[in-house]
Amino acid sequence: MSRQNRVWSRREIEGLIADGRKIIILGDQVLKADAWLPYHPGGDKSILHMVGRDATDEITALHSKEAKAHMQKYVIGRVHGRWENFLPPIQGGTFRTLVSKDADDEYVSSSGESTPPSPVFDTEETGDGVRLRRAGNDTPISRASSLFSSEPELEQFRSAEASTAHAISSDLSKYPRLDKRSQDEVASKYRQLDERLQSEGLYECPYSSYAVEFVRYAILFLLFLTFLHYSYYALSGFFLGLLWHLLAFTVHDAGHLSITHVFHIDSCIGIFVADFLGGLSVGWWKRNHNVHHIATNSPEHDPDIQHMPFFAISSRFFTSLRSSYYDREMKLDAAARFFIKYQHYLYYPILLWGRFNLYRLAWSYLLDPAQAPRKGAAWWHRYLEMAGQVFFWYWYGYRTLYLSIPTWSSRLTFLLISHMVTAPLHVQLTLSHFAMSSADLGVHESFAQKMVRTTMDVECPPWLDFVHGGLNFQVVHHLFPRLPRHNLRRAQPYVKEFCHDVGIPYVIFGFTRGNKEVISRLGEVAEQLRVLEECRKVAAKDLIEGHHSH
């Protein structure tokens, strides 16, 4: 029997993962991705979130046919029947090692099955639907008591857990059931929709649309240079900021390989635009964004909603969650308490400084060899990006900011305006997720349902699509990330039809309404923190007075 035809049992695969192997299911194939981790252009984190899972839809959505063909090198066998997902180790899943292993490195199966628990709740099928049950044998309070030493801290945990339970219960009432039959139907119809979009030619990039984009870029670039030449520094910075705003959408397209669909060509387009023209890092973006597309709106795992100490979109952040992406605790410290209590007022002012944070993230990625691919086809991208960073700070920092502008006050004006004008981009990036569900429904939820549940579209006239850069079609984009952005509007009716067919609510708001929803969510979480702090003060006072009475 050939290696690729070997049939692996669920128990054997659990043993492989327990031994540290990175096992992923693709269709009925078993992939061992250990050797691929240092080569993956999208970083290792996105692979780690797929360990023990059927990643068929995620892989199809995010990878080209050529990439999927390359994955055949890592096939070690296959499985029989429908795969039941494990909770990946990076998300807290635990696995049992096998009893023994023979000399030929063949794993011997032992009896028993492993069920994949959700971090907080599992779902249990009943005759009339899905109900919640606690994961594990201990009660949540007994587990919490071992984690928190004081009554106020325990109360904080209880409050966050109650809020989480309410969010999960609310989602379960609005979305298709999590039983195998319901989720298999969602996945099947999602795959049929993907085939339909391909047959309609919507994966083919309309290059004429990029010709129009290029004209916009050229006009803004000429306005930037013209006003700089005539010493209108505020206007010059304004048009440079608008140029950066629009160029970011092309970086997004290139990062998803949706322009030419050729890995190195689109990667070089992204590096040229992001690094050479914008001072940002497309490599950092890929590493971050791939995880975002897999673990969308997960407080512990999605870096796009991990903005502590400035923002929290869920009370779960009150328990100082640990980020699996940044490998650090997101502490609810004094700074976080201050910002979160006023986050609905500070939302827009803080986003004005968003581009400066992107510089920090770019350099933290490029200076850390462990984050960028060290081997494989993309090994040289990091060095090209570094060259791009030097070029950017030469033309922008030295030639423009220092040599072309005579006074420090004018330089500061130009610097701030050029960067703050890009704030609407950061609003757009957060708009489609901050107001949506951040509940974890467990490993049984299909990829398609999770993407629609955690994402919303923004309605606008077709002539304004270029301002939103396709990000106004986030539901469509999250379902089909490689779809060229200029075809997203054409794909939207198909996606709406799919959602109606499977019973998944399709959320779409106008830009103003969407902003109100985000501000409302931030205000709700801020109020929860204020109430929680009042409860803690009362509990602490009662505790002290109780001690004194003794």
C-alpha radius of gyration, the chain, whole number: 25
To which residue do tokens 């904080």 refer?
Answer: 156
pTM for the model stands at 0.86
| Res 136 pLDDT > 80 | no
- Looking at residues 473-478, what average pLDDT do you find? 96
Tell me the C-alpha distance between 394 and 102, whole Å: 60
pLDDT digits (tens, 9 = 90+) for 231-277: 999 999 999 999 999 999 999 999 999 999 999 999 999 999 999 99
Please tell me the CATH superfamily of domain 7-91, with its number: Cytochrome b5-like heme/steroid binding domain (3.10.120.10)
SS3 per-residue string spanning 412-480: HHHHHHHHHCCHHHHHHHHHHHHCCCCCCCCCCCCHHHHHHHCCCEEECCHHHHHHHCCHHHHHHHHHC
pLDDT of residue 120: 39
pLDDT of residue 98: 86
| Res 535 pLDDT > 90 | no
Tell me the C-alpha distance between 550 and 545, whole Å: 9
Q: Could you tell me how far CA 369 lies from the centroid of its own chain?
A: 22
Of the candidates 122, 503, 450, which has an alpha carbon nearest to the alpha carbon of residue 292?
A: 450
Judged by average pLDDT, the poorest of 98-112, 114-128, 253-267, 382-396 is 114-128
pLDDT of residue 112: 37
- Looking at residues 153-160, what average pLDDT do you find? 53
Tell me the C-alpha distance between 198 and 262, whole Å: 17
Percent of the chain scored above 70 by pLDDT?
86
Confidence of residue 175 (pLDDT cuts 50, 70, 90): very high
Judged by average pLDDT, the poorest of 178-192, 365-379, 430-444 is 365-379
Domain boundaries, the chain: 7-91, 205-439
pLDDT digits (tens, 9 = 90+) for 327-359: 999 999 999 999 999 999 999 999 999 999 999
Kind and range of the H or E run holding 117:
none
- Looking at residues 383-395, what average pLDDT do you find? 97
pLDDT of residue 369: 84
Residue 308, amino acid: M
pLDDT of residue 163: 57
pLDDT digits (tens, 9 = 90+) for 276-317: 999 999 999 999 999 999 999 999 999 999 999 999 999 999
Kind and range of the H or E run holding 316:
none
To which residue do tokens 């190195």 refer?
Answer: 264
* Letter string b/e over residues 398-431, b meaning 16 or more CB atoms within 10 A of that residue's CB: eebbeebbeeeebbebbbbbbbbbbbbbbbbbbb
Helix axes 511-549, 151-174, angle to 10 degrees: 150
Judged by average pLDDT, the poorest of 35-39, 208-212, 214-218, 456-460 is 35-39
Report the chain's mean pLDDT, rounded to a whole number.
Answer: 87
Confidence of residue 371 (pLDDT cuts 50, 70, 90): confident
pLDDT of residue 378: 87
